[in-house]
Amino acid sequence: MSEPLIEIKDLRVEFNVREGIVKAVDGFNLTINRGETVGVIGESGCGKSVTARAILNMVPKPGKVTSGEILYYRRSKENPSDGQSRTTDVLDLTKLDPDGETIRQVRGGEIGMIFQEPMSSLTPVYSVGTLINEAVSLHRLSPVKRVGAQITETIQTHRRVTKAEGRQIAIEMLRKVGIPKPNERVDSYPHQLSGGQRQRVMIAIALSCEPVMLIADEPTTALDVSIEAQILDIMRELQESSDMAILFITHNLGVVANMAHEIVVMYMGKAVERAKVQDLFYQPQHPYTRSLLQSIPKLGQKKSGERLASIAGSVPDPFHLPPGCVFHPRCPAFMPGRCDTITPQWTQVGDDHWASCLLYEEAGK
Amino acid sequence: MSVTNQTQSQAQPPTKNDTILLDVKGLKKYFPIQKGFLRRTVGYVKAVDDISFFVREGETLGVVGESGCGKSTAGRSIIRLYEPTAGQVSFKSQVLGSNGQTKTVNLLDLNAQEMKSVRQEISMIFQDPVNSLNPRMSVSDIIAEPMIIHGMKMGQDTEDIIVSLLERVGLRSDHLRRYPHEFSGGQRQRIGIARALSLNPSLVICDEPVSALDVSIQAQTLNLLQDLQKDFNLAYIFVAHDMSVVEHISDRVAVMYVGKIVEMAETDALFTNPLHPYTEALLSSVPKPDPLYKPHRIMMQGEVADPSNPPSGCYFHPRCRYAQDLCKEKSPEFRQIKHDHWTACHFAGELKLEGI
Ligand SMILES: Nc1ncnc2c1ncn2[C@@H]1O[C@H](COP(=O)(O)OP(=O)(O)OP(=O)(O)O)[C@@H](O)[C@H]1O
Ligand SMILES: Nc1ncnc2c1ncn2[C@@H]1O[C@H](COP(=O)(O)OP(=O)(O)OP(=O)(O)O)[C@@H](O)[C@H]1O
Ligand SMILES: [Mg+2]
Ligand SMILES: [Mg+2]
């Protein structure tokens, strides 16, 4: 039953900055199946958002996809009930013209995206002259337009509805995501909403087109836990009713534990571990994953003044990457002579469970 | 000031004193709702509606509550980024005092010059790191800006302070010449934290300061905030949605609902023995990092309350599973039920509520 929807193969994205080249994504592989949720977790700056943007062919400048492919198994739109078998095209999203017709149908229509920091565009100074390449305005809230109009426009771009119907859907979506008085709030400007309300408007936009895949980059960070739970329910319902796949990027391990079927852990642009959600939390294999899990403050165990465990050292300088395994300078299981010389390979460490760590290479062979 | 040579302190119960640093009374912030061509005011969004609380020196007050309940507005009103509609905000100021004596002032009475001085002592980490970082300034300029505004000259000293601040928040000195858009979400958040700490404040209003950080850097940052608190007797107002973070860092916690504080208590008491049904519902929704955990979520029925037209009586009554007729009619008083445990619920203490 697992039918691949997106296959990321050996993706590399580089940023050419003054001091040299940052390899933001450095040989990343991932398959996302229809109807499944893949969680992506990992160090801040490890390339999660850049990967997500690469799927939509929206890598910010001066970033470039330097190699690899992102295959999208796109079903033809024909009605499945008319007896004809459905055809599936395979599109390499990285090869599409970023301003072309096809990618515009995909973006926001077939693949919906909730961006981290939906409010960034609200500062006038930010939208002028920054280098962030916003290929389409529909993924950012425009400060000068009412939120209802912004949702309606997206709906109309991707669904055949009238303006009035679009507005009605917009109000319904705002209600679903828990905005009070949606029929009045539909006419607010973004600055009149709280951080979490703006984030929910973005969620409403992303879900209003009934996408086959939702890319959710920190979708609920600005929300209180009860609205968060409600939004996650909406996502799960949509997933069940329409077989929507979700790429769920988050730092909130509580949320990802409850949402994801499978989890990928990233470090410095690479996947370092991948497993079914239960295995990842109960049998983490990579030392980085283990350390991450240990850094979470545990609820209900407050000790005054207690310090949290964190990973020693800091992320390496991207221009002078350590040899061997890039995690070795911070790794509690560091094996001198091996980890600092040999680059670990992607190794199977259990059922559907993979890691790249020298601890497992012999065992795996 | 010097952040350069702080000692890494060991875990010890923090010594907190009882001196009140900030005392907020009856704070209100109403946003006018304007309609039509003439921009007539047809009503008000009561974003912050008569809240009172205090913060002791060196203490952390956590603030949680529904998205849109007024947490950011309250923070911004205290330092007058928004002009409050009513209230009093007493603050024990060093810079406005003389001969090393502090002086307690009402921030709402200060003129622009005095307010500027006080901003050295109260800084803010903004919820949206991008909004607060000027995209045309390099990281070094962004962190230096508050110091320059307050009359420090750029030189080796300031440069050193900036580098040590950057390192303490887990960034590297080679980041100094980069611009905000070249960073990931979490890296930008740390730039905002470094900037807020650059002036050696006595109170930092932290609005979702760690929400964009991975758990390891979050841990480092929380440890850093705790170290600084101990070393400089810093006080924090710590707004966050992550309940485990709030529990970890806070001495006391305030829970807000539609512009009002509905419960306030010491952290342990609030988490284990909540007295307000909204707090109970909130705690029941906290996700746990355990895929086998099935939460017993209390579903709140009904619509989220609208701060421009709140319900009658207790604002929470339409969504409260314990609501009685009284709750529709009469608005509950914010009162002390147990030692240092305050709440606004008619039936506080009578209901058996579930904590963590
Ligand atoms: N416009 C840019 N110019 C230069 N470098 C960039 C740019 N955008 C991102 N980067 C770099 O690419 C790397 C990956 O960034 P990305 O935003 O994908 O991180 P992330 O994993 O999403 O982190 P976070 O959890 O903090 O959001 C980072 O090291 C960042 O500094
Ligand atoms: N400039 C403004 N004009 C009108 N209404 C506003 C303005 N700013 C905020 N509001 C409204 O005031 C209320 C409180 O907003 P605030 O940003 O303080 O919420 P918050 O508690 O910080 O929420 P979040 O957790 O989502 O950040 C919201 O209903 C919001 O829509
Ligand atoms: Mg990101
Ligand atoms: Mg806020």
Domain ranges of chain A: 4-260
CATH of domain A4-260: 3.40.50.300
pLDDT greater than 50 at residue A37: yes
DSSP string, B170-215: T--GGGTT--GGGS-HHHHHHHHHHHHHTT--SEEEEESTTTTS-H
Highest mean pLDDT among A128-142, A151-165, B22-36: B22-36
pLDDT tens digits for B137-179?
A: 888 888 888 888 888 777 888 888 889 888 888 888 888 888 8
For a mutational test of ligand 2's pocket, the pick from B33, B72, B85, B124, i.e. the residue with the most ligand atoms closer than 8 A to its C-beta, is B72
**Given a cut of 80, is residue B36 above it in pLDDT?**
no
Q: What is the biggest distance separating any 2 CA atoms in chain B, rounded to whole angstroms?
A: 67
pLDDT score, position A139: 46
pLDDT band at A188 (very low <50, low <70, confident <90, very high): confident
Q: What number of residues does chain B have?
A: 356
Question: Is any atom of ligand 1 closer than 6 Å to the C-beta of A40?
Answer: no
- DSSP letter at B85 equals S
Q: What is the mean pLDDT of residues B107-133?
A: 87
* Average pLDDT over all residues of chain B: 89
Which one of A110-114, B16-20, B345-349 scores highest in mean pLDDT?
A: B345-349
Ligand 1 centroid to Cα of residue A22, in Å, is 9
Return the residue in A17, A224, A258 with the most chain B beta carbons within 10 A, the one to mutate for interface testing. Answer: A224
Contact B297 A229 (CB under 8 A): yes
Rounded to the nearest angstrom, the minimum Cα separation between A83 and chain B is 41
Three-state secondary-structure class, residue B142: helix
Which helix (H) or strand (E) segment is B221 a member of?
helix B215-232
CB-based neighbours (< 5 A) of ligand 4, an ion? A 195; B 72, 127
Within 8 A by CB and 6+ apart from B335, the residues are B342, B343, B344, B348
Ligand 2, atom 23: closest residue by C-alpha: B68
pLDDT at A333 over 60: yes
Distance CA A129, CA A181 (A): 36
Is residue A159 predicted with pLDDT exceeding 70? yes
**Structure confidence at residue A178 as a pLDDT band (50, 70, 90):** confident
Half-sphere exposure in the Cβ direction for B349 (13 Å, CA): 10
B127 Cα nearest atom in ligand 2 = 27
Instruction: Please list every residue in chain A whose beta carbon sits closer than 8 Å to the beta carbon of residue B63.
Output: none
What is residue B32's DSSP assignment? E
The answer to whether the Cβ–Cβ distance between B187 and A44 falls below 8 Å is: yes
- pLDDT value at position A141? 61
Q: Answer whether B172 touches A (CB < 8 Å).
A: yes
Q: Looking only at Cα atoms, what is the longest distance across chain A?
A: 68
Cβ(A317)–Cβ(B174) under 8 Å? yes
Note the pTM of the prediction, 2 decimals.
0.88
For residues B59 and A147, which has the higher predicted lDDT (pLDDT)? B59
User: Is residue A125 predicted with pLDDT exceeding 70?
Assistant: no
Neighbouring CB atoms inside 10 A of A24's CB total 25
Rg (CA), chain B: 21
CB-CB contact of A172 with A185 (8 Å): no
pLDDT at A76 over 50: yes
Confidence grade of residue B34 (pLDDT, cut at 50, 70, 90): confident
Query: What is the predicted pLDDT for the residue at A84?
Result: 56
Q: How far apart (Å, rounded) are the C-alpha atoms in residues A281 and A271?
A: 16
The letter for the amino acid at A300 is G
- Give me chain A's average pLDDT, please: 84
The C-alpha atoms of residue B319 and residue B307 are separated, in whole angstroms, by 15
In angstroms, what separates the C-alpha of A119 from chain B's closest C-alpha? 7
The Cα A239–Cα A261 span in angstroms is: 12
Report the alpha-carbon distance of residue A230 to residue B285 in Å, rounded.
Answer: 9
Contact of B293 with chain A, judged by CB distance below 8 Å, is answered with yes
Residue A14 at interface with chain B, using a CB cutoff of 8 Å: no
Between CA A116 and CA A202 the distance in angstroms is 10
Quick check: A124 contacting B, CB < 8 Å? no
Q: Is B92 helix (H, G, I), strand (E, B) or coil?
A: strand
Contact B65 A196 (CB under 8 A): no
Six-digit token string for B68: 């849109």
Whether the upstream peptide bond of residue A62 has omega within 30° of 0, thus cis, is: yes
What whole-number distance in Å separates Cα of residue B302 and Cα of residue B305?
Answer: 9
Q: Is the CB of B31 under 6 A from ligand 2?
A: yes
Nearest-CA distance A81 → chain B (Å): 37
- Of A224, A251, A254, Cβ closest to residue B65: A224
Q: What is the pLDDT at residue A265?
A: 98
* pLDDT above 70 as % of chain B: 94
Q: What are phi and psi of A356, to 5 degrees?
A: -115, 100
Q: Is the pLDDT of residue B30 over 80?
A: yes
Q: Please write the tens of the pLDDT for every residue from B224-264.
A: 899 889 988 999 999 999 999 999 999 999 999 999 999 99
Closest by Cα among B150, B166, B134, B239 to B201: B150
Lowest mean pLDDT among A332-346, B11-25, B321-335: B11-25
Most A CBs within 10 A among B125, B177, B241, hence the mutation to make, goes to B241
Query: Bigger pLDDT: B182 or B75?
Result: B75
| Axis-axis angle for helices A147-158, A163-176 (nearest 10) | 120
Alpha carbon of B69 to those of A123, B259, B310: distances in Å?
A: 22, 5, 12
Residue of A nearest to B211 (CA): A221
Instruction: Please give the torsion angle defined by the CA atoms of residues A110, A114, A120 and A126, in that order, rounded to the nearest 10 degrees.
Output: -20
Give the Cα-Cα-Cα angle A245, A34, A209 (nearest 5 degrees): 50
What tokens does A89 get?
Answer: 């095209």
Model confidence at B295: pLDDT above 90: no
Residue A132: pLDDT band with limits 50, 70, 90: very low
Three-state DSSP at B149 gives: helix
Interface membership of B32 toward A (CB under 8 Å): no
Name every residue whose Cβ is closer than 8 Å to that of residue B220 and which is 6 or more positions away in sequence: A310, B170
Is 80 exceeded by the pLDDT of residue A270? yes
Task: Answer yes or no: do A123 and B131 touch at CB < 8 A.
Answer: yes
Instruction: Report long-range pairs for B102-109 (Cβ below 8 Å, ≥24 apart).
Output: B107/B78, B107/B79, B107/B80, B108/B80, B108/B84
Residues 6 or more apart whose CB falls under 8 angstroms from that of A121 comprise: A127, A134, A140, A141, A142, A143
Contact between B113 and B97 (Cβ < 8 Å): no
Range with lowest mean pLDDT among A139-153, B189-203, B279-293 = A139-153
pLDDT of residue B38 exceeding 90: no
In angstroms, the CA B260 to CA B94 distance is: 30
What pLDDT is attached to residue B86?
Answer: 97
Q: What is the 3-state secondary structure (H, E, C) of chain A?
A: CCCEEEEEEEEEEEEEECCEEEEEEEEEEEEEECCCEEEEEECCCCCHHHHHHHHCCCCCCCEEEEEEEEEEEEECCCCHHHCCCCCEEEEEHHHCCCCCHHHHHHECCCEEEECCCCCHHHCHHHHCCCCCCCCCHHHCCCCCCCHHHHHHHHHHHHCCCCHHHHHHHHHHHHHHCCCCCHHHHCCCCHHHCCHHHHHHHHHHHHHHCCCCEEEEECCCCCCCHHHHHHHHHHHHHHHHHHCCEEEEECCCHHHHHHHCCEEEEEECCEEEEEEEHHHHHHCCCCHHHHHHHHCCCCCCCCCCCCCCCCCCCCCCCCCCCCCCCCCHHHCCCCCCCCCCCCCCCCEEEECCEEECCHHHHHHHC
ipTM: 0.84
Which distant-in-sequence residues (6+ apart) come within 8 Å of B326 by Cβ? B313, B346
Closest C-alpha to B116, from B125, B126, B107: B107
